[in-house]
Amino acid sequence: MELESSKWFFDEINPHLLQLHAIEGTIYSGRTKFQSIDIMKSPSFGKVLVLDGKIQSSEVDEFVYHELLVHPPMLAHPKPEKVFVAGGGEGATLREILKHPTVKKAVMVDIDADVIKVCKKYLPEYNAGAFVDKRVRVYNTDARKWLAESKEKFDVIIIDLTEPVEKGPAYLLYTREFYQIVKSKLTKDGVISVQSGCASYTELLNLKAVSHTLKSVFPIVSIYQADIPSFGGPWGFCVASMTMDTAALTPVEIDKRIKARTLTDLKFYDGLTHLQMFTLPKHMRKATARGGRLITDDSPLYLYKG
């Protein structure tokens, strides 16, 4: 079958594997100071946000990604009042954070103001009014610099960044030095969650490295995963803390906390889902138990060339 290149988006999973998405049209295409940005219309996934040629989220299944990034660490903490987000330009991470009635302040730091501007205009359903919530503060600067210079401490810190690309805006927010900054800005029972990349068996480089690097800073680190169709398969996340073991929470306890927080509109995450996503298959347990490379400022991890 001959493909018309103008009707397909080629998402590079790795240099040897491409995922093709049929495209009905392009809603927006441009370049910011930091990265390229495209919003396309897919017959399978609706509106799709693409940064630097990589799918970041889709209208149809973004709720899976954002619920899993936000609610496990938020529910692990007994009363999260102050939350920090690195990245999160669509506003959907903020949307999920603000569902927790305990939250008094949410700080989002995304270096790229143009991504936020474009998403507000073309993907307003993603943020669902989060950007105008009085509890929210948004800063357009380097998240690592902002956090290092801040005198505030946070109950939950969520790292919602693009994958590490050479010369990209995010690669120094995956290093041990950055996680040490995060540790210093967490409250005693604070929790950090990190989107950690592809969890397919042949693509565990980023997930293993993030987990291993977090373990060099935090005593309690867990990996979890879920299938995100628009990403082409399972996606990995890590959660870490000095005191809170998110993975140890039972389905009954998760459902109890969901009810107590009045999180009645979750589409994906509940107690049984929690149990399933923290129960890694044998091959993944074996692979991640061996550890990965240590990511440092002097030896960063690049998944793609900039």
The answer to whether the CB of 216 falls within 8 A of the CB of 176 is yes
The answer to whether the CB of 31 falls within 8 A of the CB of 112 is no
The secondary structure of 121-135 as a DSSP string is HH-HHHHTTGGG-TT
Say if residue 10's pLDDT is above 90: no
Which residue from 201, 105, 224 is spatially nearest to 153, judged by alpha carbons? 105
Predicted confidence at residue 61, as pLDDT, reads 97
Say if residue 6's pLDDT is above 70: no
Q: What digits encode the pLDDT tens for the residues 157-201?
A: 999 987 766 566 678 889 999 999 999 999 999 999 999 998 988
pLDDT band at 1 (very low <50, low <70, confident <90, very high): very low
Taking the C-alpha atoms of residue 138 and residue 249, their distance in angstroms, rounded to an integer, is: 32
Domains annotated on the chain, with CATH = 5-57 (2.30.140.10), 62-289 (3.40.50.150)
- What is the pTM assigned to this prediction? 0.94
Q: State the average pLDDT over residues 121-131.
A: 96
Taking the C-alpha atoms of residue 218 and residue 241, their distance in angstroms, rounded to an integer, is: 6
Q: What digits encode the pLDDT tens for the residues 219-256?
A: 999 999 999 999 988 999 999 999 999 999 999 999 99
Predicted confidence at residue 255, as pLDDT, reads 98
Percent of the chain with pLDDT over 90: 77
Q: State the average pLDDT over residues 101-115.
A: 97
List 142, 160, 245, 298, catalytic entry: 160
Q: What digits encode the pLDDT tens for the residues 88-98?
A: 999 999 999 99
The answer to whether the CB of 115 falls within 8 A of the CB of 32 is yes
Say if residue 305's pLDDT is above 80: no
Is 38 among the residues known to form the active site?
no
Predicted confidence at residue 119, as pLDDT, reads 97
What value does the mean pLDDT of the chain take?
A: 92
